[in-house]
Structure formats: C-alpha cells, structure tokens
Structure 1
Amino acid sequence: MQHQELWIFHLDGDSHFLEDETTKIFARKVADHYSARTNQTLEEREASPIIHLKKLNNWIKSVLIQLYARRGDAVLDLACGKGGDLIKWDKAKVGYYVGIDIAEGSIEDCRTRYNGDADHHQRRKKFIFPARLFCGDCYEVRLDKVLANDAPFDICSCQFALHYSWSTEARARRALANISALLRPGGIFIGTMPDANVLIKKLREAEGMSFGNSVYWVHFDEEFSEKKFKASSPFGIKYKFHLEDAVDCPEWIVPFHLFKSLAEEYDFELVFAKNSHEFVHEYMKKPEFVELMRRLGALGDGNQDHTTLSADEWEVAYLYLAFVLRKVSSPICLNE
C-alpha cells in the first residue's frame, strides 16, 4: 500500500455540550502541559529518572495490543499523544488507524512520527497502515458524527488518559458514549488509568494530604481532609499529580466499580481489570512476554545490562491499572 502523507484535522467543540468555565480551564491546562513537552533524544530519554518505568508502561501497552489487536483491525486511539504506540500497532499489522488528541503540539509530533520525518530516534520508518489524525477534545466532541465514515472500529485504546474525563459526569459519559458508538459489537476497548483504590489507600495512610517518593508526589486539596469520598458524587475528585520527567497537572479519581457500572450503561462488559503489579506478575509467566520485557529493557536486558526498575518506580507502577472492556452485541429479542 502506498504510504500517504498525513494531515491533521481540527475538531470544533460541541456548542450543545454544557460545561462550566472551570472544567474548560482544567482541560486546557492538561492540553498545554502535554503540548509543551518536547521530544527527547535517545540519550535524554535514557537519562530520565523514570526510564525503566516508561519502558515498563510500554511493555504493558504492548502486551494489551498483542493480546487483543488482530491483523487488519481498524484502530481508534484516543489521547494518542505523540504517537508513541504507532510502532506497537504496526507490529500488530493493523489495517487502519485514527488518532485523536487534545494537545496541538502532541498531535503535530504524532504526524511527524507517522510521516517518517522525525529524526530523534534514528530509526524512523514508514508505517504501512493508512491513518487520520484529529486535534480535539474527545471527552467533549461527539465523535460518531465526525468519524461516521471511519467506523466501526475493531479496537479502541485510551492509555493513561481516561481519568481526565472524570472531571464531570457529562465528560465521563461523553467519553464512553463516543467509544461505544464507534466500536463494532464484540469490539474491544483497552486502556490504562490510575487505580483509585491505591490512591485513596495511600492518602489514608499518609500523615497529611500528600504522599510520594523521589520520583512522584500526589496532593489532595483540603476539601478532602476527612479522606472520605461519597459514592453519590464520584466525579470531580481532583488531585495534583507530579511525576518526574513526565506529568505535572490536575487529575481525577475514577472509582473503578463505578466506572464499570457506567460502562455497562453504554453496552460494555468487563473482561478484566488488573493493577499493574498483578498484570506484570501474571504476564511475565508467558515466555513471549518475558522476551518482550527483555527487549524493551524495563528489567534490564538479561545480559550485560543489569539496570532495572527502582523501588520508587515500581511504587509508581502500583498507582495504575490496566483494563479491557468488550462492546456487547445488541440483545436479540426472541418472541415467546
């Protein structure tokens, strides 16, 4: 297939989508944070204090993609960022790719990476699957209209970003409605996000309203000083998250049992949800994923390189979980 030069389409906001100014400011803050992050050289990347955590996260995403992506699949990548997963999709031999991200700078980097213009990794390649890229807020815009000609998708991925939709119920619902509308029956939704149970447990164990280690810290505002969270108001539970060389912006708690219930309203069933620690322990029992881990180098390469995840990086991994949902086929009504 002839490689196509890729252009970026811009999505207009939904004028019917009711949102207060504060929510828009936070969404813009997150977008600006990611837009401002520059591409790193290989040397800079390897010198990162969380390089092994980044490699571990890449392994987790690779395992999810290898488990659920099939040759020829149409892929919807929400919050695709700088296109860091393009190579993973390429290895899965997918047939079509649509990436959407709110951050202008990130989506431009994704375009550069897809077009093979990037030189920061010295191993750029042309991707054989056709693709489209969009800059916009996929937790606000109605994507079923925009992507009517691209759907249905076989698989949707949202990596380390779905929690940004839980600032309000309207955004959380729009996110799930978009994914549900665009996936075929039986289609798969894979993702990673913070593990609310771990965050709340750590907050309750902490002396004050903050906890962390040498590479990260989390801070909750005084409004949560009782360290209790009502099940009746699960949206908008904000905290500040800082991770060295990666993230420094507001995030929102996603109580997973409530996320699962909400997803069921949009015709999803849970396949599994596993904390990153559990995920690593389980899939490191499979030889092909052990080999993948060795190649990615999160635990060293098993040869001369004995460097591995630090204890502090491993603690950060514990803050996250991986999940897989399946779009349920429309129920068939049988006449009695």
Structure 2
Amino acid sequence: MKRGFEASPSTSFGPPKSKLRYDTYGDSRASDDESFKNARRVAEHYSARSNQTLEEREASPIIHLKKLNNWIKSVLIQLYARSKDAVLDIACGKGGDLIKWDKAKIGYYLGVDIAEGSIKDCRTRYNGDSEQQQRRKKFGFPARLICADFYEVPLDKYLQDDAPFDICSCQFALHYSWSTEVRARQALANVSALLRPGGIFIGTMPDANVIVKRLREADGLEFGNSVYWISFEEEYMLKKFKASSPFGIKYKFHLEINLMCSMLCLHSYLTKLCMQDAVDCPEWIVPFHVFKSLADEYGLDLVFAKNSHEFVNEYLKKPEYAELMRRLGALGDGNHDQSTLSQDEWDVAYLYLAFVLKKRGQPSSGRRNTSANKGKMFIAEEDIEFISS
C-alpha cells in the first residue's frame, strides 16, 4: 500500500467567474544545519531587494494571483480579527498586510521577520514615508518591529510584557519551519506561548496533499505550467515519503513574477529578480495531519483547513466578500476592467490552503490594556529590535 498524503480534490476546474540588537533571550538553539544556513542566505538576499513600483507590480504575469492571495488573507482577517485586538504578525515581510489590520481596527501590532531589509521596509510603510504614495493617513494602532528567526528563537520571555496576543498570523511562510522538527516545534511553541487562551492563529501555506498528488501524476520529478514549476530531488524518485520522517521533505519552487525577470519564490523569504541573481529556493512539505497533531501538542486546536479553491468557492458566495473581490480586482472589477485570473494562476492557487487554529482554554472576560504595550505610533530606525540566534 502506498504511504503518503491523500489528495484533496479541487472543488472547481477553473478560475471563479465574476538599531537595538540583542542576543537570543535564553539558551540559543540555532544550529549549523543546511536549513539554518539557507534561511540566513535567503534573508540576506531578500533584504537587498528594492520595493516594486505600482507599474512593475501591475505588469506581473501573476498580478491576479497576488490579488487573489490578498483577498484570501483579507477574508481571514475580517473573519477573526476584532476591534482593539493585539496582533502578532509572523514573517510580516514588508508589511503588506498593515492596511488589512488597520481596516480591522486592531489595537496593537507586532511584526517579526527574519529579513532585516524587509523589516526596514515595513517600518517605512508603517510610518507613511513620502515614497509610500498609497498611504493617505497614518495607521490607527501602535506597532513594534523585531528582526528575528521566529522558528529558531524562543520569544516567550522576551515578549512577556506584550503577550498575550489575541490573534497570530503567518502567511505563506510557516512551511519554512518544517525543515527540521526542532524548528517546527519552536514555531508552534512560540505561537502557543504568546497567544491568549481562546486566541486565534490564522495562516496560509502549501497544501501537501495537492503537491504530492501532482508529483505522482508527473512523468518525472518536476511539474508545473507557464507560471510555476516544482521539482523534487533524486532521493524521491519513487515518489514515496516515510511516515516516520515527516520533516525535511525538500523541493524547489519557482514562480514567474514579472515580464523581464523570471523565477520568484512566492513566500516572504526570497525573490529571484533575474537569472544572474538566482538563489536556490528550497521549501518543505508540511503533511497536514502531522501539523495538526503537533499543533495539538501545543494546545492549538484546528478550527478549519481549506484548500484555496474550496476557500474561494465558499466565501465568494457571501456578498460582502464578493464585493471585496471586486474591489481588489483579482477577477476584474465587473465593469470596465475585464482582466481576470488565468487558468494557470488558478492552478497555482490550488497548491495552497488556509488554516485556522484556536488556543485551548477559556478566554478572560476583560480586554487587555494596549497602552501597556511597547508599540509606537512612529517607529524610528533605531526602534527596530534585532534578536540573533
């Protein structure tokens, strides 16, 4: 009998129609293994990237996929974020979700990312500096930014004055913790320690069932379409995965990002801006049944997990989210803009899922006092905190 991950069938066959620097707090657990070295190398590469202009973003062949991903994240935030919530944004990148959190009227924001350049860009976006032309007003919540590897550094003691958080978010990045069991456990241990009882952990990540299904359907160890490809190494020639070794199942993922430069690694760690600037982009399979079991060990109960196709088809039926989709333009605006998600982009979306976990325990009746947090309404460059591992 084949061992592996059962495939989740798609619910549709086409796109929907209309500086402070600190050492690790506590004992350092950073290792010299390949995954850690790669995380640092990729973070340095991503830090060196400049922000794209609006024109460059709109010229991307996957612009509608990116808009669809923004819609999925927006729906998750609207479903679970509440006014005055304290938010922990894991792998926050350049702060692309700040506006979403502002619309949810949160009370406090703490962003953590491994890439120094991304954290600095997040600071710029939060402050509304002159180059951020899309900003019309200041954000309505204080914020704090930390440069650290959330999957290596125990943060419970370091952030004890900020915790507990009402909601944690990790978008398109949690699978980077799955290179080793130690990193996967540290990621979930941090979430559990920092989230209040009854608090919510939302996220998006690759759907292992779909990736393994596609691999087994392929003639060789590589598959994809006009905008992406995934390749596995020779050790997976039999296309079988040991149930006893659910960590460190590595593959390479490439995605076209714009018309002049090829190869984007979608997630918050790496963009290949051109071939001579290429960096290997390993990612790791996250068998969801193992993820669910591990989360359970840390007091995090599964609320739901839905493949992106299922998620879109379910929530697009609700008028408020259909209107949000129209405004974001992933399927066109229903009026003058008829451009929409391509079939190949829709196929990429099928590679991902959205999940929601809830911290076990009874929430306290009172709301935490956000004025006690260390957040600021304007973040100077020296306010960014660096925690090394």
TM-score band (shorter)?
A: over 0.9
Q: Structure 2 residue aligned with 1:208, among 216, 220, 226?
A: 220
Paired position in structure 1 for 2:37: 25
Distance 1:11 1:243, change over 3 A: farther
Paired with 1:118 and 1:40, the residues of 2 have a C-alpha distance of 15
Distance 1:287 1:10, change over 3 A: farther
AA of the residue aligned to 2:55:
E
Distance 1:106 1:118, change over 3 A: farther
AA of the residue aligned to 1:12:
D
TM-score, length basis structure 2:
0.81
AA of the residue aligned to 2:157:
K
Distance 1:306 1:10, change over 3 A: farther
Paired with 1:330 and 1:18, the residues of 2 have a C-alpha distance of 34
Q: Is the 8 A contact 1:11 1:135 kept in 2?
A: no
Give the aligned CA root-mean-square deviation in angstroms: 1.5
Paired with 1:203 and 1:326, the residues of 2 have a C-alpha distance of 32
Asked if residue 290 in structure 1 is aligned to residue 322 in structure 2, the reply is yes
SS at match of 1:146: coil
Paired with 2:209 and 2:104, the residues of 1 have a C-alpha distance of 32
Q: Choose between structure 1 and 2 for higher RCO, CA contacts under 8 A separated by at least 6 residues.
A: 2
Distance 1:229 1:170, change over 3 A: same
TM-score, length basis structure 1:
0.93
Paired with 2:128 and 2:82, the residues of 1 have a C-alpha distance of 24
Structure 2 counterparts to residues 1-336 of structure 1, below 5 A = 9-10=20-21, 12-13=23-24, 15-17=27-29, 19-117=31-129, 119-245=131-257, 246-247=264-265, 249-329=281-361
SS at match of 1:234: coil
Sequence identity, in percent?
77
AA of the residue aligned to 2:94:
K
Q: Is the 8 A contact 2:30 2:36 kept in 1?
A: no
Q: Which string of whole-angstrom CA distances, capped at 9 and with x for unpartnered residues, describes residues 163-205 of structure 1?
A: 0000000000000000000000000000000000000011111
Shift of 1:122: 3.7
Shift of 1:27: 1.1
Paired with 1:283 and 1:330, the residues of 2 have a C-alpha distance of 28
Paired with 1:125 and 1:271, the residues of 2 have a C-alpha distance of 35
Structure 1: which 5+ runs fail to align? 1-7, 332-336
Structure 2: which 5+ runs fail to align? 1-18, 258-263, 266-271, 273-280, 364-389
Moved over 6 A (4+): none
More off after superposition, 184-193 vs 119-128: 119-128
SS at match of 2:361: coil
Query: Which has the larger helix fraction?
Result: 1
Q: Is the 8 A contact 2:65 2:349 kept in 1?
A: yes
AA of the residue aligned to 2:91:
A
AA of the residue aligned to 1:297:
G
Shift of 1:115: 0.6
Paired with 2:20 and 2:176, the residues of 1 have a C-alpha distance of 22
Q: Is the 8 A contact 1:191 1:322 kept in 2?
A: yes
Paired with 1:128 and 1:46, the residues of 2 have a C-alpha distance of 28
Q: Is the 8 A contact 2:128 2:135 kept in 1?
A: no
Q: Is the 8 A contact 2:30 2:152 kept in 1?
A: no
Distance 1:101 1:329, change over 3 A: same
Shift of 1:31: 1.3
Shift of 1:214: 1.0
